[in-house]
Structure formats: C-alpha cells, structure tokens
Structure 1
C-alpha cells in the first residue's frame, strides 16, 4: 500500500502512529481538527471536522487512500458533556468508516477497553473471567464506552456493505515513555478501571502498523495491552487486595495482564516490546509531527 490516511493524527497517540507510518508508506495524510505541521516530507497535514460528513468524504475521495486509520475522537467521558462525547465519537466514526468503505479502503480504528464498562463504572464490577478477552460482554455505563460499542457496530455494517476489512483496536491505558501516568495512579481516586493493565504508545503504533499489514477478513476487535500489569505484583493478589475476591474463572500466571493480548498476537504476529520497568523513566525522542 502506498497511501494511508490517519484521523486524529496530531493527538497524543495519533502523533506516534503517524510517525511510525511515515517510515512505511509513500504518503501519509494526517487529519485533525487543529492545524499542524510535520518534518516528514511524505506527511500531508490537513485540518477537518470529522463530524462534518462533507469534509470527511471530500478528503477521503480526494486522496483515495489504500487504508484509513481512524484515531480521532474525544478520548474519555470527562471534561465534556456526555451527549457531546457520544455524538462526536459516533458521528465521526460513521463518517470516516462509511467514507473509507465506499473508497474501498481497509480500516484500523480506535475502539477502547472502556467498551467493556469497567474503567468509568460508578462502582467497578468484577469481570466475568480473567483475563478479559474480546469475547467478554460489553456493558458500558458512560457515553464514551457506549460510543465505542456503537462504533464497532458501524464497523460491522461497513464490512457487510463493502468489500473491506475493519480492525477495532481496543487499547488499554496508553502510556508514554518517561511519563507513565499509571505508576502515579491512586486507585482510591477512581477505582481500578482496567485492572492494572496498560500499553506503551510505541506498542500501539506497532499494533496499528501490523493491523494494516495483516490479512484480515471482515471485522476483528482486538485488545492491545502490555503483557504484564503495572502494579508490580501478581494480578490475582491485586484483585484480592482491592476487591477482596477474584472471578471464579481465572487463568492468569503471576503478573500477567488482566486484559489479554493473545488474539492480537495471533492475528497480527505482534507482541508488545515495552514495559513500565524501563519505559517509565526512559528519555525517548518524540514524533516529528505536532499541532500548531
């Protein structure tokens, strides 16, 4: 493939994705709601409102990309009115995935582990089993997680209607080298959300790259997480400490993550390379694309 279009390409993790893909594709079109610039000669930065169907269809029609990475969204339910989060994410997902389908472009997009309903629940429930995988029921209690469930239904619609594939990546809590927010997290401030799982932003970028290159048929939701928890002790012990119990069905070894990346490893030939033990204090060079 020669051209890939990335929405949300000036955001926190979007910048790392664009930087990775710039080394792999002849042309990368970086689309965001704000103006930006890039030092990459093959990255074209464009400004657009993803909730505007005309703008989205215009851009995708004009560039006719081989693939689309839809990473643009309000990334959590906090800081905006709930209806704004839901409407923005659902409408933008529909616009981008539908336009990509009509253009015959395969899609990789950002769903979320929030679709399961754990991170922003009023009271974090135990999962049905551990580790949580793609088959676990989704029971969101907030507009953000619900918008991702709807987005995955849009993905199902698009693959039925057009001859394209869609990979819905469900990232765990994304961390950045030298700034691992999870290591300063106090569960008493807001529960344990994703059961002490996380993923390095560089492993997100490599997973997106692998998903674009993989031979996927139809729609595949994939959890993307580090191999281990960030709590520094066996995951079962963390559950006992916080919940006082564990689910009846547990298949975990030591500090293995409560969010399984096995399906992503199987389908994408991908494995996470970064762990909090080194990355939390790492001085890594950031991506060469930024908002103005």
Structure 2
C-alpha cells in the first residue's frame, strides 16, 4: 500500500482515479477546491488553493506521499478568461510538482492532447503525419494548450532538480460510460480539433495506475487514447474530407485512432479496455470517494 496524494480528486475524471486507487488499497489524500465527506476509510479529503504555494507545501509536507497524481486544472480556455486558465494551470503545476519533488515522490499528472495545438486552434491545421505520436511537435496557440506545454517543461525541470520520475499523461477527449457526449456531435465537422479521438474515463484511471507502477526514470509523456475513432468511419476518409488530403506518411487502417497509444503500451504496459461501441450505453455505478 502506498500513500498517494491526488489533486482535483473530486472532479469529473479525478473521482474515478481516487476510486481506483482506494479500491486497490492505497491511502489517498484527495485535494480539491471544495469539500466532500469521504465514504472510504482510506480516503481523506482536504480543501486547498493549489496556486497558493504555502497551502500546497503544507499539505504535501504533512502527508509525506509516496506519489502525487496532479489532476487539477481549469480544463479549457472557453469558459474562463485565457489569462486565468494559463496562470492557474501553470502556477498550480509548478507548486504541486515542486512540492512532490521535495518530498521525493514520483509524479503522474494530466497534460493533454491540447499541448499539440490542434483542439483550440482558430483554424485547425493537419498534423505532420499519421498517427500522431509523442515526437510530434507541440504548437499550441491557446492558453490551455500552452499551459500544458509549460507543464511538461516543469515536469522535466522537476526531474532534473529532484531526480524523481514524472509521467505526463496526455488524455484525449474523456468520455464517461453511458454518457458518451462525443457521439452527440456531428462527425466529422465537430471532431476536427482532436481528429475524432477519445478515451474512456475508466481507461484514464487504469493508465494512471500503470504510470504509478511503471519502472521508469526521468520524464515521459504518453498519449491516452482509445484504439479507434468515435466517428465509425475510416480515419483516412475523414482526413481527406476535412483537409482535402491525408497527411503523409500515414500508417493507419480502418478506423484506427489518429493519435497513437503505442508508447503507453510499450512503456507502461497499458492498453485501452473500452470502446464507444459498448461503453456508450453501459450502466456503470458512479465512483465512490
């Protein structure tokens, strides 16, 4: 059993992460902006402003975690002023990663596919090649994507300064069993920003666990995406229709995801277990925090 601090643990996907870690018997400190009484003996909830360095250092220092899962953030630049999104995400990530490094705790944190620069671009460009992998250049132009690119720079800094492993998870569009909102859109137009990729929230919890368990050194960034697109069409057909051509080189067939999850499989031993074809109509109990 490990002591794991999870930020954003009462959020949409954070709750699933806390639930999975608690179910596996870990002692979890769930940190969020609001309070909720935990239903589990091995989960404690604390309220903190992660942009307040004192709050963060106090919590991390007192809990003395073996690992920190940093999942808190303002998740997009559309519902908040851009400057607020950038400042909140970067400052909170610095505070949490620096505190984790000082505590000699390994880190898994939520970067994003948005670091690539496609989802919130004013005019979405085509990727340089397909499938997109972790070597693809990052070219964000929006405050959310830039905050995640900056966060990955902070992750590398944490490794250099404190010699702790840090994994930056880059989730695609997170979907919830029985509530797959991506299917309510009109592909292909509405899916251009992330090239029709998605990930089930249960697979997010699973990749966080895999990253915590992996024997790695330094910093690694990995995409968390399902194996297939959610448009139920050939991926190359979607690109040809929306961009006029298919990026080359291209190593895709059928409805293969435009973003590769191969590195996560090789490095973490993780593969997605859920597909929209089954999960969209699943009746799954809400996670318990």
The verdict on a shared fold, with TM-score over 0.5 as the criterion, is yes
Q: Which runs of 5+ in 2 are unaligned?
A: none
Matched, 1:50 2:45: no
Secondary structure of the residue aligned to 1:21 is helix
1:23, distance to aligned residue in structure 2 (A): 1.6
Q: What's the TM-score once normalised by structure 2's chain length?
A: 0.98
1-structure distance, mates of 2:278, 2:188: 26
| Inter-CA distance 91–222: structure 2 relative to 1 (3 Å threshold) | same
**Structure 1 runs, 4 residues or longer, greater than 4 Å off:** 187-191
Secondary structure of the residue aligned to 2:193 is coil
1-structure distance, mates of 2:154, 2:236: 36
Secondary structure of the residue aligned to 1:120 is coil
Secondary structure of the residue aligned to 2:100 is helix
Q: 1:23 corresponds to which residue?
A: 23
- Output one character per residue of 1:244-281: Cα deviation in whole Å (capped at 9) or x when no partner: 21112101121110010000010111110000001111
1:77, distance to aligned residue in structure 2 (A): 0.8
Q: Which runs of 5+ in 1 are unaligned?
A: none
Q: How does 1:105-144 map to 2 (within 5 A)?
A: 105-144=105-144
| Inter-CA distance 196–12: structure 2 relative to 1 (3 Å threshold) | same
Q: 1:10 corresponds to which residue?
A: 10
Q: How does 1:77-116 map to 2 (within 5 A)?
A: 77-116=77-116
Q: 2:175 corresponds to which residue?
A: 175
| Inter-CA distance 277–190: structure 2 relative to 1 (3 Å threshold) | closer
Q: 1:186 corresponds to which residue?
A: 186
2-structure distance, mates of 1:24, 1:13: 17
Q: 1:204 corresponds to which residue?
A: 204
2-structure distance, mates of 1:268, 1:250: 25
1:39, distance to aligned residue in structure 2 (A): 1.3
1:189, distance to aligned residue in structure 2 (A): 6.9
- Asked if 2 retains the 8 angstrom alpha-carbon contact of 1:207 and 1:270, the reply is yes
Secondary structure of the residue aligned to 1:223 is strand
1:41, distance to aligned residue in structure 2 (A): 1.1
Secondary structure of the residue aligned to 1:37 is coil
**Bigger shift: residues 91-100 or 235-244:** 235-244
- Asked if 2 retains the 8 angstrom alpha-carbon contact of 1:123 and 1:191, the reply is no
- Asked if 2 retains the 8 angstrom alpha-carbon contact of 1:3 and 1:28, the reply is yes
1:25, distance to aligned residue in structure 2 (A): 3.7
Q: 1:234 corresponds to which residue?
A: 234
Q: 1:150 corresponds to which residue?
A: 150
| Inter-CA distance 182–190: structure 2 relative to 1 (3 Å threshold) | closer
- Asked if 2 retains the 8 angstrom alpha-carbon contact of 1:109 and 1:168, the reply is yes
Q: 1:164 corresponds to which residue?
A: 164
